[in-house]
Chains A and B, each alone.
Chain A
Amino acid sequence: MIGDSSADGRSLLGRVRDRLEGPNTIGDSTTFWGAFAVVVAALAVYPQVVGPYTVIQTSRYFALAFLALSLCFIWGYAGVLSFGQVAFFGVAAYVFGIVGINLGSVTGAMVALVAAVVGGTLAAALLGYFMFYGGVRDTYVTIMTLVVALVLNTFMAQTAGSEWAVGEAQLGGFNGMNVPSLAFGIGQSGLVLERAALYYALLVTLVATYLGLRVLVNGSFGMTMVAVREDEARTATFGYDVPFVKLVVFTIGGALAAVGGVFYASWGNYVDPTVFGIGFAALPVVWVSIGGRESLLGAIGATLVIERMRTELSSGIGPVGSEWALVIVGGLLLTVILFMPAGVVPTLDDLADRARSRRTEQSQSTTATEEPVE
């Protein structure tokens, strides 16, 4: 009996691992999952050992990691480079603010969350539909998505007048809009996600999203995405509706960016048109290029590290003034693209693989040379 149940337990764990692992993600070893558990546990105790300022800053990095995942998913796995994922991030942030302000209760914040994610997702589906069914491809997708973000930037920037209001929500132009916090509960009472609560909500959502995306990219849909990335024309000749596949991928990417946008707006209780600006639009491309566009973990890790670095640099370290922050990030991007075109995480994985196979070869050759002596 005991043996039976433990065998069942193992096969369940095995089945879960089978779905999480595959050729499209890095990290399939027991060591990897052990390290993953340790890192998640460390992040869980992190707020207990650092000050509240660091907890709040780290929450911001977590919210931005959704934006990185969104780009990593569509660019790394389906080959669609969007320079405008911030558009769906920003649309969701504004919708969250507008609905949240107008409803103005804890229940209202929950409705606003749903409305914002739906709004950001629909915006991506609409843009994706016109692009992919209109035959827009490659760099033109990149340009068009950037243009959409910049148009939104210009439009939102001129909404300063009092006539630009949706119900009670003033859009506020350059000055931005104050946004309520995410909350769960009924009526006026419930859990408001601020400080450590927001941190834990983000950590749980981020880990769940990461694992969910691993299942998706290692399943048959992931194989379809990779086939589209590798060769669109050939994939169509196996009966795949390539524009539809890209539309689905782009819409999922929009949903991920929208989730990030809601958390981001709730984190700062504020959103302004710079979320659509070119400076912010470039950041996801920087994170994902450095972390490795074919690595979900790389995208998250690079976001956390680079944003932490930018925060530290913006207050200036030693002789290095804050004005150097962007130069240093830009230099890092150039260095990575030159020396590790696949990104940091895939390159490290490749090096580890090579070291492992060299060790196997060495141990084989040692036994081979020892044998005649014996």
Chain B
Amino acid sequence: MSTPQDINVRQKPAVAATGGGVDTILATKRLTKNFGGLTAVDGVDFSVDEGEIRCLIGPNGAGKSTLLELITGQLSPSAGDVYFDGHDLTGMDTHARIDTGISVKFQSPHVYENLTVAENLRVPLQRADGDTDGVLAETLDRIALEAKADTGASDLSHGEKQRLEIGMAVTLDPALMLLDEPVAGMSIEETADVANLIRSLHDDGMTFVVVEHDMEFVRQISDRVTVLNQGSIFRQGPIEEIEADEDVRRIYLGENA
């Protein structure tokens, strides 16, 4: 086990990255989660730089979704801490964590089935100030659901629900976006659309942590990749290195090949 590294958590918001120094926006410190006898996340030191797109991969049960839920506060850790953008999130309620500038899209679509597309977007939007009607129109355009604004969410296709859910998370204008399998069950065209959406938001300065099994999609978007295995960080680095790594191929990528 590596010793916990120094955590360079950004203290002030909106400090321009000067020269070579890039700030860490998210850091977990020896984060651990036990479910009974099972250790789903085991002393993980996971840090993400501001402005990067980080993909989290690994076999089923590696602890990827659990790690996200520990960051958003759906689960509370057995040990360890979570820091984000100068805040110690450990012990904060989910809603307070969201207010520090985090958005999340869960693994299975969790749209409000009994509401229309526009109403779904209004739920996060009505907490924002300013021109919410403008943001609503802009978001509908961004997720290509303008024509279905008044359609009930239960009548959407799976891909449309995924896009709506990403749209709902985007309306909060977060500094950090956590996406759990954003393209699961999507066609190749839909996957490319989501990749474009993520890249355009990234160009606007948003940081991403994306859990994904679709390696083609990971190749399209990722700056760096973290491989989780049995609750620990197994490898971390650029996608080319990860894909060339014999051990990663053995534990995970081999399954997909």
- A: residues with CB less than 8 A from B are 23, 220, 223-224, 226-227, 230-231, 233-242
Contacts and interface: CB of A to CB of B under 8 A. Distances in A.
B95 A223 contact: no
B93 A238 contact: no
Interface stretch (B1-9, B28-36, B121-129, B193-201): B121-129
Interface residues of B, number: 25
B98 A237 contact: yes
Given A224-B126, A226-B115, A231-B110, A239 B95 contact: yes
Interface string B157-181: 0000000000010001000000000
A239 B102 CA distance: 9
Given A223-B126, A227-B123, A238 B98 contact: yes
Contacts of A239: 95, 98-99, 124, 127, 172
A235 B98 contact: no
A238 B115 contact: no
Closest 7 CB pairs of A and B: A239-B98, A238-B124, A236-B94, A230-B112, A227-B123, A220-B126, A234-B110
Contact of B122 (A223, A235, A236, A240): A223
Contact of A241 (B95, B113, B122): B95
B104 interface: yes
B11 interface: no
Nearest to B174: A239
A221 to B, nearest CB: 9
Interface in B118-144: 119, 122-124, 126-127
B123 A223 contact: yes
A234 B110 CA distance: 7
A220 B125 CA distance: 10
12 contacts: A23-B115, A23-B116, A223-B123, A224-B126, A234-B106, A236-B95, A237-B94, A237-B98, A237-B104, A237-B106, A238-B127, A242-B95
A198 B122 CA distance: 42
B180 to A, nearest CB: 11
A23 B119 contact: yes
A238 B168 contact: yes
Nearest to A243: B93
Contact of B114 (A220, A230, A233, A240): A230
B66 interface: no
A235 B168 CA distance: 11
A224 B123 CA distance: 7
A224 B126 CA distance: 9
B47 interface: no
Given A230-B112, A234-B112, A240 B127 contact: yes
Contacts of A235: 123
A146 B127 CA distance: 35
A196 B104 CA distance: 58
A17 B120 CA distance: 23
B115 A241 contact: no
A241 B97 CA distance: 11
Given A226-B115, A239-B172, 17 more contacts: A220-B126, A223-B122, A223-B123, A226-B112, A227-B123, A234-B112, A236-B93, A236-B94, A237-B72, A237-B74, A237-B104, A237-B106, A238-B98, A238-B123, A238-B127, A238-B172, A240-B95
